[in-house]
């Protein structure tokens, strides 16, 4: 029997009905990172729709998605594939699914940590943090040093006023996401 649990969950999370997709693949044709994906947006959608839940959640494609919304703009049926990808990333993290793109997830975590600390992005800190997390200290180091030397990346971070509020906002969002996960996992997560 078709396992529709992930599809139902994604529909609820992304506020839409992905069953309206008629597989024209316009989303994939316009996606700027489809060339690097294994399946592409329209196939990921079909995987969710037809119960290939583990494969969809474990796909690197959902992490390669840049959230640019080109797919949603091009879709003749108003399917928001970007929201679908977003929902899949959230569910993948919450369910602790196998993630073949830990580097991308680590990048997102480092980014959010800096936003909490400074209230804005500081590229040099992001570079250092990502290298410490991934333990890949030397990759792209030359390009990073060049950017610093040319003054493209400030060395000292600037903080905005009200970083506490930014931090509280992000923490509240995290709490809400966790609570939503517990509720939806009890609704859909254990269905077969």
Residues that bind ligand SF4 (CB under 6 A): 21-27, 31-33, 41-42, 45, 65-71, 74-77, 79, 81-82, 85
The rounded radius of gyration (Å) of the Cα atoms in the chain is 19
- Name which of 32 and 164 has its Cβ closer to ligand SF4: 32
Residues 89 and 74: their CA atoms lie apart, in Å, by 22
Question: Is 33 or 117 the residue whose CB approaches ligand SF4 more closely?
Answer: 33
Q: Which is nearer to ligand SF4, 12 or 33 (CB)?
A: 33
The whole-angstrom separation of Cα 178 and Cα 182 is: 6
What is the DSSP annotation of 75-122? -TT---HHHHHHHHHHHHHHTT---TTHHHHHHHHHHHHHHHHHSS--
Nearer to ligand SF4, 85 or 87 (CB): 85
Half-sphere exposure for 189 (CA within 13 Å, toward CB): 14
Minimum CB separation of residue 122 from ligand SF4 in Å reads 25
Of 37 and 129, nearer to ligand SF4 (C-beta) is: 37
The token duo for 33 is: 């990172």
Minimum Å distance from CB 5 to ligand SF4?
A: 20
Distance of closest approach, residue 154 Cβ to ligand SF4, in angstroms = 29
Instruction: Report the nearest approach of ligand SF4 to the CB of residue 184 (Å).
Output: 22
Supply the minimum distance, in Å, between the C-beta of residue 76 and ligand SF4: 6
Contact 90, 13 (CB under 8 A): yes
Q: What is the Cα–Cα distance from 112 to 7, expressed in whole angstroms?
A: 28
């Amino acid at each position: 029997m078709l396992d529709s649990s992930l599809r139902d969950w994604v529909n609820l999370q992304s506020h839409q009905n992905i069953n309206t997709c008629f597989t024209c693949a316009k989303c994939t044709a316009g996606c700027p990172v489809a060339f690097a994906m294994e399946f592409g947006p329209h196939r990921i959608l079909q995987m969710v729709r037809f119960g290939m839940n583990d494969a969809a959640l474990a796909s690197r494609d959902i992490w390669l998605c840049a959230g640019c919304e080109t797919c949603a703009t091009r879709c003749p049926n108003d399917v928001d594939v970007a929201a679908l990808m977003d929902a899949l990333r959230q569910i993948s993290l919450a369910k602790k699914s196998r993630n073949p793109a830990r580097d991308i997830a680590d990048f997102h975590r480092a980014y959010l940590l800096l936003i909490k600390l400074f209230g804005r992005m500081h590229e040099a800190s992001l570079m250092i943090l990502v290298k410490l997390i991934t333990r890949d200290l030397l990759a792209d180091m030359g390009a990073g040093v060049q950017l610093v030397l040319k003054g493209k990346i400030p060395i000292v971070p600037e903080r905005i006023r009200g970083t506490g509020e930014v931090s509280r906002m992000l923490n509240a969002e995290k709490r809400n996401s966790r609570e939503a996960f517990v509720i939806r996992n009890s609704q859909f997560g254990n269905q077969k």
